[in-house]
Amino acid sequence: MNADYSERNAALGALYGEHIDVVRSRHDHALERAGAAHAVIYSGNPKRAFLDDYYLPFKANPHFLGWAPLTDLPYSCIVYTPGNTPVLVYYQPHDYWHVAPGTPDGYWTRHFDVRIARTPDDVIAHLPADRAKCIAIGEFDDEALDLGIERVNPATAVNILHFARGAKTDYELAVMRLASRRGVAGHLAAEKAFREGKSEFDIHRAYCEAVSHIDAELPYGNIIALNEHGAVLHYTNLDRDRPAEQRSFLIDAGAQVHGYASDITRTYAAGDERFQALIDRMHSMQLEIVGLVEAGVDYRDLHIATHRMLAAVLVEAELASGDPDSLLETGVTSAFFPHGLGHLLGIQVHDVGGHQANESGTVIDPPSGHPFLRLTRVLEEDMVLTIEPGLYVIDMLLDRLRGSQAEDHVNWSTVDWLRPFGGIRIEDDVRVMSGTRENLTRDAFAAAS
């Protein structure tokens, strides 16, 4: 076994017990509020492709992953009863069609009563006898596994768990730092492939090789966008052919470790000094926003402040004219920057609870005119979130400004210059702290240099 791997797992193991204590405490509270005695957290099951006999890539229930770092263990469950050691029903079938999960092993095993199940009936046999006192958490769509639990994903319990998950444990933070380092290795490999003139498809392959992921293991589909493709916010087409001319490269790609994700975006110029200057200006603006992240800040205020900063960038770049208030009120900044500033990050890339005001599930709506903001909470210590401002030429949105008060604020000739480059997005993963912050992404780039 690799010495670095052993050392890494020893460090995670030292933090894992405290993590499980926190997870147990959250479930104790959720069960009490739900009036239940037991929680059954199901890992999930693979889904068949429509009208076919093969399975789509398996994605484990994030609630299950919060207990155990088992990303590829379908048909299994955690059975938790407050005061008792959590039971892990570990599905290990006798199967000659597929590779069955190996023997349970790792720093996490000593925290569970691990029970091997060979069949769905074996799984069910390990559940509490009184199903009326159970709640089930997960997606249940396989008729072969009927747990007999009527209360599935009760809002009272799930809202508590989702709200609490915003704050990360020391174990989770350690894993997310590893995911950041893994993602940065991929970004460096992708930039190298771009500089070598590779196609989007080949850049993607270089990234996956560097992070040691197949596509199904990526936390989300890589955005590998050359030239004008950078203006398509979720571009995942991956052209196989090299463009006749390489002008720009936008990459939004992450990696995962033990089910926890990184989410990183960078934009590069192929040599155009004017576009490079605009990228540099967006880096400066992004770092200015990161510098405002700390406990007690309302993320909605950060989002609006970003639009004001972007208004100044648009004027400096001669893409628009006018004062920040006018550019916001007329919708100019939203046309150039239509998505939200960022989101919570963790087991899921767009982690849950971003709109919750409290554990009861009260919703905090995004600011008027900014419907795509995924995080509206007041920031708390040890949240991890993304900061990802962007600037794009999206003709569909810019055309809506024509014929309105906004039209005269836009310098259309400069828009025409920027269009072949697509756009710019800079994204870091940031931990919230009291009076300061930790930039997981920039730290990972610094460590790799």
Mean pLDDT (whole number) for 131-153: 89
Pairing of strands 423-425, 264-269: unpaired
pLDDT value at position 133? 97
pLDDT value at position 147? 86
Q: Are 263 and 220 in contact (CB under 8 A)?
A: yes
pLDDT value at position 85? 97
pLDDT value at position 395? 98
pLDDT value at position 9? 84
Listed by start position, the domains of the chain span: 3-164, 170-448
Query: Among 190, 175, 180, which residue's Cα sits nearest to residue 263?
Result: 180
Q: What is d(CA 392, CA 370) in angstroms, rounded to the nearest whole number?
A: 16
Confidence class for position 7, pLDDT limits 50, 70, 90: confident
Q: Which residues of 351-384 are buried (b: 16+ CB within 10 A; e: fewer)?
A: bbbbbbeebebeebebeeebeebbbbbebeebbb
Confidence class for position 415, pLDDT limits 50, 70, 90: very high
pLDDT value at position 365? 97
Average pLDDT for the chain: 96
pLDDT value at position 1? 43
Mean pLDDT (whole number) for 373-396: 98
**pLDDT tens profile 260-310:** 999 999 999 999 999 999 999 999 999 999 999 999 999 999 999 999 999
Share of the chain above pLDDT 90, in %: 92
pLDDT value at position 141? 81
Q: Are 347 and 62 in contact (CB under 8 A)?
A: yes
Q: Counting every residue, how long is the chain?
A: 449
**pLDDT tens profile 220-238:** 999 999 999 999 999 999 9
| Edge-to-edge strand ranges of the sheet holding 248-253 | 223-226, 248-253, 264-269
Match domain 170-448 to its CATH number in 3.30.70.60, 3.30.9.10, 3.40.50.2000, 3.90.230.10: 3.90.230.10
What sign has the CA pseudo-torsion 125, 129, 130, 133?
negative
CA 67, distance to chain mean position in Å, is: 18
Write down the pTM of the prediction. 0.96
Q: What is the CATH superfamily name and number for domain 3-164?
A: Creatinase/prolidase N-terminal domain (3.40.350.10)
Res 145 pLDDT > 80: no
pLDDT value at position 99? 84
